[in-house]
Amino acid sequence: MSLYGMMRTGVSGMQGQASKLSTIADNIANSNTTGYKKFSVDFSTLVVNSGGGSYNSGGIITTVRQAVSQDGVLQYTNSTTDLAIDGDGFFIVQDAEGNSYLTRAGSFVPDDEGRLINSAGFYLAGYSYANGTPSVVVNGYNGLEPVVVTSNEISATPSTEGVFNSNLPNAAPVVAGTLPSANAATSEYTEKSSMVVYDNLGGEVLLDIYYTKTAANTWEITVFNQADATPGTSFPYASAALTSVNIAFDGVTGQLTGASPNSLTIAVPGGQNLTIDISGMTQLSTEYLVAEIDVNGNAPATIERIDFTDDGILYAQYSDGTTRDLYRIALGSVASPDQLVALSGNVFQTTDMSGEVRIGFPNSNGNGALKSGAIETSNVDIAEELTEMVQAQRNYTANSKVFQTGSDLMDVLLNLKR
């Protein structure tokens, strides 16, 4: 029997239990930390070769693990910028230098610049809609930027697309006079509607839309800027028509024929080219009816509130009642979340063991749903930690007794010489 080995084993046991007590202390301290993932210590044996008639004690090896893949309970709040993930995935956050990390801590609030920041000082990152509908860079953090929402922002969006479908009466007589496209004082038409659109500065532009039956199943659609109309009579307008097209209907179904145009392109004065979808136009035996009208764009307005969808779209609701998509929140995932390395601030970085990060949107590719007005609580169970602490304390004391006994025996052995 090796007394030195016995003492070394006792020290190994005390070191292992000290590591366990350290993780328990961290877990209890962070039991109220949003998105915190508890640590634990796994023990394995360390065996030293022994002879046939003697035994050499070895010791233990400890491995610290973090239960990253174990979800905490969702706790609901009154703040729309409190975010949680119901399922797999991590928020992608950035520090002040632009470095990206993963986290489950989603308690965000706007800072003085409107950036959504959590309690550890990390900024929520997402893809902006400024350059169109965003797409994911699946294997890296490229394209992500801090989410910025300011309530004092004034936004004006020009009209670029819309839908305007109506029913044109099949029984309407053919107009034999001067058509609106000629823009003459004697112009005749069958039906008329007006529609508001927006220029580049958010100014309202009223468009006059004329429908004129020119032959059986054939109609002319002509659009003018109402600001150019002659007061009291409309025609003639001060400027030519913004667009004029001829559409044709199938006399049997009342739907547009395959050869007929199904959209209008209008150069909005002071704005953008506006494409109006008219594919749903009909010619049925009833009166003139507007079935659907919807045009994008808005007048200058401030943000009244923001909200998130389950699939990660951050949209703003403006004071004029319009809404606009601002950002798409992306989530990161790895093959082995428990092998991520934890850093200060409750964030994680990938390792060789965890696998590379894969970027995707919530509710897709195995990622969980984004929940607004909720946070994920710590996955620490206080009762379990206290029980583990008592066990670790007893085990530490027992190992100290082993060391003390070995030390006493060593004194006996050394005193034999005397």
Q: Rounded to an integer, what distance in angstroms lies between the CA atom of residue 227 and that of residue 181?
A: 17
* pLDDT in the model for residue 47: 80
Instruction: List all residues 6 or more positions away from 370 whose beta carbon is below 8 Å from its beta carbon.
Output: 83, 84, 85, 86, 308, 309, 310, 311, 312, 329, 331, 362, 363
Which domains are seen in the chain, by residue range? 3-67+379-415 (no CATH), 77-152+306-373 (no CATH), 159-296 (2.60.98.20)
Helices of type H across 146-230: none
pLDDT of residue 365: 86
pLDDT for position 174: 96
| pLDDT computed for residue 132 by the predictor | 85
pLDDT of residue 7: 84
Half-sphere exposure of 260 (CA within 13 A, CB side): 21
In 76-168, where does DSSP find H-type helix?
none
Contacts with 41 (C-beta within 8 Å, 6 or more apart), sequence order: 16, 19, 20, 23, 62, 63, 64, 65
DSSP characters over 148-160: B--TT-EEEE---
Q: What is the pLDDT of residues 20-70, one digit of tens each?
A: 999 999 999 999 999 999 999 999 888 877 666 677 777 888 899 999 999
Q: Give me the residues of the chain with pLDDT under 70, please.
A: 1, 50-53, 152, 417-418
- For residue 411, give Cα distances in angstroms to 9, 15, 176, 257: 18, 23, 124, 106
For the CA atoms of 367, 369, 372, 377, what is the dihedral angle to 10 degrees? -70
Tokens matching residue 117: 């920041």
For 315-351, write each residue's pLDDT tens digit. Answer: 988 887 788 899 999 999 999 999 999 999 999 999 9
User: For the chain, what percent of residues have pLDDT higher than 90?
Assistant: 74
How many H helices and E strands in the chain? 2, 28
The H or E element that residue 190 is part of is: none
**What tokens appear for 71 in the block?**
């979800």
pLDDT recorded at residue 61? 87
Structure-block tokens of residue 227: 């600001």
CB 191 within 8 A of CB 219: no
At 139 the three-state DSSP class reads coil
